[in-house]
Structure 1
Amino acid sequence: MSAIGSFDYVIVGAGSAGCVLANRLSANPSNRVLLLEAGPPDRNPWIHVPLGYGKLFADKRHNWLFTTAPEPELDGRRIGQPRGKVLGGSSSINGLVYMRGQPEDFDQWAQFGATGWGFDDLLPYFRRSEDQQRGADDWHGAGGPQAVSDQSEPHPLCDAFIAAGGQAGYARNDDFNGASQDGFGYYQLTSRKGRRVSTAQGYLKPVRHRRNVTVVTGAHVTRILSQGRRATGVAWEANGAAFSVEASGEVLLCAGTIGSPHLLQVSGIGPGEWLREIGVDVVCDAANVGRHLQDHLQVRTVWHANAPLTLNDEMASWWRMARMGLRYALLRKGSLTVSAGYAGAFLRTPLSPDRADIQALFINFSTNKMGEKLDPFSGFTASICPLRPEARGHVRALDGDSRTAPEILCNYLGTEGDKATALAGMRELLRVMEQPAMAAHYSARVRPDPTQALSDEVLLAYIRANAASIYHPTCSARMGTPALGAVDAALRVHGMDGLRVVDGSVMPAVVSGNTNAAIIAIAEKAADLILSRV
């Protein structure tokens, strides 16, 4: 094994959080920062075209391509869990929707012992991160590394969906990250001038010239090195060779909700009974490492448009594809600029009268399964995502090899409350889709089967057979007291020195919406904690 010396900070994972830390920690030229990424540089052109996320779902070069264990409440199906393996991590392959969540989400984190992580504590970090196209105000920032933009242009089907929301009694909302999340509107996205702005582009690229930043791609970290209860560095493999590095300051684990607890466990930091079962020596018996996993479920409905207004139509015609490409190249407009949610809504079912418990997403295409070919008809998709699942799962190493994918169990629909919320959300979405403004744009519902009467039993069976992840895994190394969490409020691993986790795994509970914006804010705050030596 070749030792390459010492750095003040060794960051494992150049994803949504790791790139933020590399930027902020290296701002002081006396801090030597090493950033290790298992994947390649972000040179694939589809990374930078917003709609290109569809090309990356099954791309093993840029995607870990995890799958869950058979999910008991989803008919025993294994559910795909794509995670970014590239500079920028999942911010380079995600659907680009910019969504923070609800203030109550962060305020409730304190109940788990995450003191200092309320919404008022995090709002300055959301604002600091943002380069909001609309400019700065009390809710938003401008001039930050993370571009946030409006959709490049409206779409008649999205306008109809928003109008249908009004007919169903909901307000129009032009800023889901402002004073209120409720209502219908267009999503903002993490792009600028029709190009994706990942954290690799927004945070890392501008500081790659700094002499105190070293970035190594293709570096698969195999183990956190330690002496007693102190992390001292990491070991990794690249091109068949083994390397190690010393961290004179801290090891900062930013490998994601699946990667971080897995690497901790194969390094001997995790539930003792789990580690002994797979023959890993216990360095620190940390009972909550890998437990408490949460993810959002998505249930999609598909509709047959009665006019050729969809991406399905554009992709079925060579001349329309050529026109789409030309509009993108010349104007940075059109379907290639769209995020995974074009328009959407936040809805309150009768189960949650005080705040939205359902997110709806509307997109101008349809497919039987995300990442596969589009349907051979004019189709569009409306889906729901229950925002606050009750059930918890786990990430658990199957052996001591960091290259063996861990067992992932999200436990979707694992409580009666989760089932009831999914059913209520589907009922509300179907009610919206039946409003005159929306009904004027489709000839038939395709999925669920329009020939079936949608009783609760039939609808729940449809959910079990068709629901999938919306790709928001979190909480597997959550903040909290030693009895509740894996890390403390400063993100230090309980029982260890010189080791922090900074990524979505530290959320005590998943936020009410897409997770990337919150992960960036977590990393912004973490940088301040690290620099102040908290």
Structure 2
Amino acid sequence: MPTAASIPDKPLEKAYDYIVVGAGSGGCAVVRRLIEGTDATVLLIEAGQAGIAVAEIDDPTQWVGLGRGGFDWGYEYAPSPTVNDRVIGIPRGRVLGGSSAINAMLWYRGNRLDYDAWEEAGATGWCFEDVLPYFRRCEDWEGGESAYRGADGPLKISTSPNLHPVAAALLGGAAEIGIPVIDDPNGETNEGAAPSNLNVFDGMRWSSATGYLYPILGNECLTVLTASLSTSLVIENGRCVGVRHVFDGRATETRANCEVVLAAGAIDTPRLLMLSGIGDAKELRRLGISILHDLPGVGQNLQDHPLVQACVFRADGPLGPVRDNGGGTMLNWKSRADADRPDLHAFSVQGNSAVQSLRERYDTSGTVFSIGFGLMHSKSVGHLKMLSAAPLGPLEIQPNFLTERSDMEAMVAGFHTIMDLAGTTAFRGLNAGAVAPDRVLNDAEVEDFVRTGCSTFFHPCGTCKMGGDPMAVTDPRLRVHGIDGLRIADASVIPVIPTCNTHAPVTMIGERASDFLMEDS
């Protein structure tokens, strides 16, 4: 594991061949492949700190405490009646590795139909058969290479060497209620219960920074800037030719000879475009920003997965120390028999994962365990708006969770499955009774429990979707419509949210972006 001194202290040049904004899952992949595949000079600009050799980042059991801390942007979803007017925090990594440095380390690509849906939505060339080789290229899977898995890639992927009893019970309970137990949710099918795939190696977090970036930090062609906030893009004659950013406390302009790649995520990439005069003309006028290019889709199409945190159960005895990422197993199943893919997802939690609103309603004190569940095939769509033209000004981020009736119906079905699961013989000896909720609920009460406990899987995406329709922001090669020399390689380009954690798809997007850059150079 490198030390903080592993980032060479280099002078900032006036120009580089490529500038990548954001060192998250997509940005780290782009940088690594450009350095390996070309002799181009690359500048990586990250607003956060290095975060290298930080114990709470490296220790997989400590990830929950990273949210709302010094490595988090501190963003929040705006309240809405569908979640009982609560504000919901959205942890987003502000550090090398981005959210892969503060997340739950889950590596999961969802269902093949997710990517076929991208192509159907106008992202031509992004069906499952197109993207599978790039998923495999990311991976160093503990089980070795197969038709569905990769080996020798930058990202270490493992399963628990010793499942916690709560995690093991989820597998046994699933089998009892008729949900199959499968070896690998990233294999031929994702339907069933399985050990979670984790970006963990030798007991340590293996983030995108660890896998993609650290091995090339000493390369003479790479310059990495941390604590450097990008404030706008330099656009001349319809071409992006640089980035304005803060360096050593001063406003700085650095030029790009070839291209600029935005990988700042589903919140900050659309914000940076709007700050640069690229976005919905009406919104830009409202903010007093000069319009360079009218792209009405910037900030629209926001999608995320609603998560109920959580059903909580009194433990029938000590649970022992936390293992792995505090979970260890996952469950994917259909809310209704005619669904074309699993739309519900649950995971074991070796402790209390209830949101504050449920803790205020129920007594979840003492030794407890939880099962979190949520909707991975959500239909509700929201938006992101800037409320100020300041680079770090307030935002209105509204996912519109549970506004589609079908989303609530699926979540109610999920709740009943979780309660059935916890009542199986597999949980006998662990479960001394439910505490949240602490009694049987009628239909209206279940809906209220879902609204009160609704949180987020931290999977915002879609705010600069790729495609060819009037609301698309990039084309399928990730080039921003109407602006030369500018691409996006992060979750914002996802047109339809996949039924999975977004770290794996965004890494895959970064891998593809690097190929597009090299092919078009």
TM-score normalized with structure 2 length = 0.94
Partner-residue secondary structure (3-state), 1:463? helix
How far apart in 2 are the matches of 1:38 and 1:375? 38
**Paired position in structure 2 for 1:6:** 15
The offset of 1:31, in angstroms, is 0.6
Within the candidate set 309, 317, 330, 2:319 is matched to: 309
- List aligned pairs for 1:236-385, cutoff 5 A: 236-299=245-308, 300-310=310-320, 314=321, 335=322, 337-339=323-325, 341-350=327-336, 352-369=338-355, 376-385=365-374
Residue 443 (str. 1) matches residue 432 (str. 2): yes
The one-letter amino acid of 1:345's match is L
The offset of 1:183, in angstroms, is 1.0
| 1:360-416 alpha-carbon deviations (Å, 9 max, x no partner) | 11111114438x999541111112111111111111111211111421001000111
**Paired position in structure 1 for 2:145:** 136
How far apart in 2 are the matches of 1:293 and 1:344? 25
The one-letter amino acid of 1:118's match is C
> Comparing 340-349 with 160-169, which one deviates more in the overlay?
340-349
How far apart in 2 are the matches of 1:246 and 1:484? 29
How far apart in 1 are the matches of 2:447 and 2:481? 40
Partner-residue secondary structure (3-state), 1:35? strand
Within the candidate set 58, 61, 64, 2:68 is matched to: 58
**Paired position in structure 1 for 2:404:** 415
How far apart in 1 are the matches of 2:338 and 2:298? 31
Residue 531 (str. 1) matches residue 518 (str. 2): yes
Contact 2:121 2:496 in 1 (8 A): no
Residue 459 (str. 1) matches residue 469 (str. 2): no
**Paired position in structure 1 for 2:413:** 424
Contact 1:72 1:411 in 2 (8 A): no
> Comparing 233-242 with 288-297, which one deviates more in the overlay?
233-242
The offset of 1:484, in angstroms, is 3.6
Within the candidate set 489, 509, 515, 2:496 is matched to: 509
How far apart in 2 are the matches of 1:414 and 1:148? 35
The offset of 1:192, in angstroms, is 0.7
How far apart in 2 are the matches of 1:179 and 1:465? 36
Within the candidate set 149, 172, 192, 1:183 is matched to: 192
Residue 21 (str. 1) matches residue 10 (str. 2): no
> Comparing 426-435 with 16-25, which one deviates more in the overlay?
426-435
| 1:485-524 alpha-carbon deviations (Å, 9 max, x no partner) | 1111001111111111110111111111111011101110
How far apart in 1 are the matches of 2:157 and 2:172? 25
Contact 1:16 1:90 in 2 (8 A): yes
The one-letter amino acid of 2:65's match is K
Residue 225 (str. 1) matches residue 212 (str. 2): no
The offset of 1:352, in angstroms, is 4.5
CA spacing shift, 1:351–1:78, aligned 2, 3 Å: farther
How far apart in 1 are the matches of 2:275 and 2:482? 16
Partner-residue secondary structure (3-state), 2:414? helix
The offset of 1:164, in angstroms, is 1.1
Uncovered stretches (5+) of structure 2, i.e. residues with no partner: 1-10
How far apart in 2 are the matches of 1:112 and 1:427? 33
Contact 2:355 2:455 in 1 (8 A): no
How far apart in 2 are the matches of 1:271 and 1:340? 42
Uncovered stretches (5+) of structure 1, i.e. residues with no partner: 315-334
Contact 1:116 1:489 in 2 (8 A): yes
**Paired position in structure 2 for 1:392:** 381
Contact 1:266 1:399 in 2 (8 A): no
How far apart in 2 are the matches of 1:375 and 1:238? 46
The one-letter amino acid of 1:47's match is I
CA spacing shift, 1:357–1:368, aligned 2, 3 Å: closer
**Paired position in structure 2 for 1:204:** 213
Residue 489 (str. 1) matches residue 476 (str. 2): yes
How far apart in 2 are the matches of 1:405 and 1:191? 35
The offset of 1:477, in angstroms, is 0.7
The offset of 1:161, in angstroms, is 1.8
Partner-residue secondary structure (3-state), 1:496? coil
| 1:146-183 alpha-carbon deviations (Å, 9 max, x no partner) | 00011131122222221111110111112000011011
Contact 2:295 2:471 in 1 (8 A): no
Q: How many residues in Structure 1 have an aligned counterpart in Structure 2?
A: 506
The one-letter amino acid of 2:345's match is Q
CA spacing shift, 1:398–1:518, aligned 2, 3 Å: same
The one-letter amino acid of 2:380's match is A
**Paired position in structure 2 for 1:75:** 84
Within the candidate set 42, 45, 48, 1:36 is matched to: 45
The offset of 1:29, in angstroms, is 4.8
The one-letter amino acid of 1:381's match is S
Partner-residue secondary structure (3-state), 2:82? coil
TM-score normalized with structure 1 length = 0.92
Contact 1:228 1:283 in 2 (8 A): no
Contact 1:482 1:488 in 2 (8 A): no
How far apart in 1 are the matches of 2:328 and 2:39? 44
The offset of 1:9, in angstroms, is 0.6
| Aligned CA-pair RMSD | 1.9
**Paired position in structure 2 for 1:322:** none
**Paired position in structure 2 for 1:323:** none
How far apart in 2 are the matches of 1:344 and 1:305? 20
**Paired position in structure 1 for 2:508:** 521
Partner-residue secondary structure (3-state), 1:491? coil
How far apart in 2 are the matches of 1:69 and 1:141? 39
The one-letter amino acid of 2:314's match is H
How far apart in 2 are the matches of 1:384 and 1:474? 20
- List aligned pairs for 1:150-169, cutoff 5 A: 150-169=159-178
**Paired position in structure 2 for 1:327:** none
